[in-house]
Amino acid sequence: MSVIENPTAARAAKKWARITALRKRTPVSDGIGMAGLALVVLIALLAPVLAPYSPILRAGEAFLPPLTPGYLLGTDGVGYDILSRMLFGLRASIASAAIVIASGVIIGGAVGLLAGSVGGWVDNGLMRVTDLFLAFPGIVIAMAVAAALGASFSSALIGVAVVWWPMYARLVRGEVRSWAARPHLEAAVLAGVPWSRRVRRHLLPGVTSTVVVAASLDVGGLVVAMSGLSFIGLGSPAPAPELGSMAAQGMQYLLQFWWIPVIPGLGVMLLALLANLAGDGVRDLLSRR
Amino acid sequence: MIMFLIRRVASMLGVLLALTIALFALQEVSGIDPAKAYVGANASAEALERTRVALGLDQPAITRYFDYLVGLFHGDLQNSLRTRTPVSDGLATAFPATVELAVWALGFALILGSLFAVLTVVKWKGAAVVRVVLLSGASAPTFLLTMIGLLVFYGNLGLLPAGGRSSFGATSPGPTGLYVIDGLLAGRLDVAGDAIWHLLLPAACAAISPAVSIGRVLVDGLKINLVSDHARTARAAGMRESLVLARHAVRNSLGATLSMVGIQAGMLLGGLVVVEKIVSWPGVGSYLDKSVQASDFPGIAGVALLLGITYVALNTLVDVLQVVADRRIALS
């Protein structure tokens, strides 16, 4: 029996069996979501190279329908090329989602880690503040903050970031508390391992996978929420290519030239759907350990 | 129970106080001068200065905050920079329209969510289709759903109106400002029917995404309860599966679902802003949209405060209802 004689081959066979089993148990949609999202992100990153026209200069006649030669998705009421604007709009959506998630994870993670690992009045105080933020209707507060700072891309980001971190703070604090109660951390405390080392070596690695799963499930909803803000005018001002504001500006043509407002909406939906499927995929991969 | 009520209401007031502080601070940051709202952009410098003193704007921030707070208790939300009239007047006419739309949307969300959950749990054959439709609906921004709804039901089929709230003009025939109820109260079935006809599309479009979230929580609850010991015992005693579902699973899943309904009410308020803008619904959302276009911060802050109060009060109500349903919660 060659397998028994050769331990390396046995290990490889075992690994292969595990991968096959994993593939069987993982829904097809996970793969579609991850591959699709990767593709969209790549296309969006390459927007300056791929876009046939400038997103903010007239490219041709107005109101050209989709599939017109040279204008794959048609042109809008001004004569901008919709495809070019979509590519840049997707790029803005992806960038803003990434920035808000990153800020949520960093701020919320820091608050949660501090509250959970120090405990006592620090925990109490930080969680009171967190609960206060969670008690408000987040999207409405985001609108107020963005409006107070004046409509721009960065105000919208700040507005949403202000309401997006508390969820992560709650999550991280809960995880940290449950890890801190485990025997190996009790042992670490008794052995005199300092707080900073306990956090770095034991608590942080423990919460990472939970946070990654939560963050990846969060992207789809965030993309949709931010497009809504842009739709009511809280985002980059007029000619800048943003999916929400493109739809809002095209709304007046809805009944005659449906593609002008509908295509940007479909772009948001595609991005959110892929992100949701990919999020499920990340969860399926990481929660099976 | 009474102690719980007192605690809950006190924390609600604390949250609302924090909201006023936040909005006041934002107004400071925004650099908008409320005095200009009174005198207009073309007023002389002296007139502006006089108004500023008259409004107490030369006072330190703490004093002004207390003035603002006292004003709030008197229903004063400052003047809109856009209309130059009190924000409270504008919101007073807009709020009933939004309440009516929100109640219908929440109703649709509950019906759709429950349907989704029950069909999934009883493994009905078409449930997969319902699931795919609802999940893609949840990934779609509300503005896309509303626009497609308009294209299909107004543009192509001509079944539903293009927008607005009523074909009978903007005055309500009754005291509540809710057209359906007012129409019924006044015995005007045509008015009530017309109001419902106008409500269907915007309410349904705003309901989709909350419906999916509510449905998911309900599905999780039902699945856990259907394999629980008491459900198994009931089955062993010969109870029909439909009764096990109705009596033992649904009831025990209501707590978490109710919490989700409270959370989703907040998301719904955000969605309504977009829907109102598209169908020209004369509610708080349209008011907010116009305020944003005109960079009218007092208008925006008024809407945020009104929606904030509504949301916090609603969630307090949800908490109290949960205690009514299950007294053990009050003790923890």
Chain A residues with CB-CB distance to B27 below 8 A: 148
Which residues of chain A make contact with B286, given a CB cutoff of 8 A?
none
Considering only alpha carbons, which residue of chain B is nearest residue A262?
B144
Read off the pLDDT of each residue in B274-281 and give the average, rounded to a whole number: 92
Query: Mind telling me how many Å the CA of A204 is from chain B's nearest CA?
Result: 29
Kindly identify which residue of chain A lies nearest to residue B144, measuring between CA atoms.
A265
CB proximity B143 to A under 8 Å: yes
- pLDDT band with cut points at 50, 70 and 90 for residue A130: very high
For the stretch B20-72, pLDDT in tens is 999 999 888 877 776 776 676 677 888 888 877 877 777 888 888 888 888 88
Cβ contact B293–A261 (<8 Å): no
How close is the nearest chain A Cα to the Cα of B95, in Å? 15
CB of B147 less than 8 A from some CB of A: yes
**Alpha-carbon gap: B172 to the closest alpha carbon of chain A (Å):** 28
Minimal Cα distance from A250: which residue of B?
B147
Whether A2 has a pLDDT exceeding 50, the answer reads no
* Eight-class DSSP state of A1: -
Q: B262-294 burial, b if ≥16 CB within 10 A, otherwise e?
A: bbbbbbbbbbbbbbbbbbebbbbbbbbbbbbee
Distance from CA of A4 to the nearest CA of B (A): 44
Rounded Cα distance, A45 and A145, in Å: 29
How close A214 comes to chain B (CA, Å)?
A: 16
- pLDDT of res. A5: 60
**Residue from B175, B158, B164, B151 nearest B199 by CA:** B164
Q: Is A6 helix (H, G, I), strand (E, B) or coil?
A: coil
**Whether the predicted pLDDT of A1 surpasses 50:** no
Is B23 near chain A, with CB under 8 Å?
yes
Residues from chain B that touch A149, judged by Cβ atoms under 8 A, are 29-30
Question: Which chain A positions have a beta carbon within 8 Å of B267's beta carbon?
Answer: 137, 139
R_g over Cα of chain B? 24
A224/B269 touch (CB, cutoff 8 Å), yes or no: no
What pLDDT shows up at residue B172?
A: 64
Interchain contact, A231 vs B135, CB within 8 Å: no
* Shortest distance, CA B42 to any CA of chain A (angstroms): 22
- Could you give the percent of chain A with pLDDT greater than 70? 94
CB pairs under 8 A between A and B: 141
B16 touches chain A (CB under 8 A): no
pLDDT at A250 over 60: yes
Mean of pLDDT values over B72-92: 86
Q: What is the pTM of this model?
A: 0.87
Residue matched to tokens 């409006």: A147
Q: Do B144 and A266 touch (CB under 8 A)?
A: yes
pLDDT tens for residues A187-220?
998 998 898 898 888 888 888 988 999 999 889 9
From CA A21, how far away is CA A26, in angstroms rounded? 9
Phi, psi of B79, rounded to the nearest 5 degrees = -95, 145
Mean pLDDT, range A103-132, rounded to an integer: 92
CA atoms within 13 A on the CB side of A8: 0
Who among B26, B278, B304 is closest to A140 (CB)? B304
As for the ipTM of the complex, it is: 0.85
Residues 6+ apart with CB under 8 A from A173: A111, A112, A113, A115, A116, A123, A126, A127, A130
Chain A positions touching B297 (Cβ under 8 A) are: 147-148
Contact assessment for residue B112 and residue B211, using Cβ atoms and an 8 Å cutoff: yes
Contact flag A148-B312 (C-beta cutoff 8 Å): no
User: Closest to B273 (Cβ–Cβ): which among A138, A232, A255?
Assistant: A232
Q: Give the type of residue at B284.
A: V
Test the A interface: residue of B144, B278, B287 with most A CBs within 10 Å:
B144
Residue A71: what are its φ and ψ, rounded to 5°?
Answer: -130, 85
Distance from the A137 Cα atom to the nearest Cα atom in chain B, whole angstroms: 5
Determine which of A8-17, A84-93, A133-142, B140-149 has the lowest per-residue pLDDT on average.
A8-17
- Selected for mutation to probe chain B from A132, A143, A152, A260 (highest B CB count within 10 Å) is A143
The Cα of A20 is separated from the nearest Cα of chain B by a number of Å equal to 26
Q: Please name the residues between 59 and 118 in chain B that touch chain A, using a CB distance below 8 Å.
A: none
**Between chains, do A148 and B295 touch, taking CB under 8 Å as contact?**
no
A4: confidence class by pLDDT, cuts 50, 70, 90: low
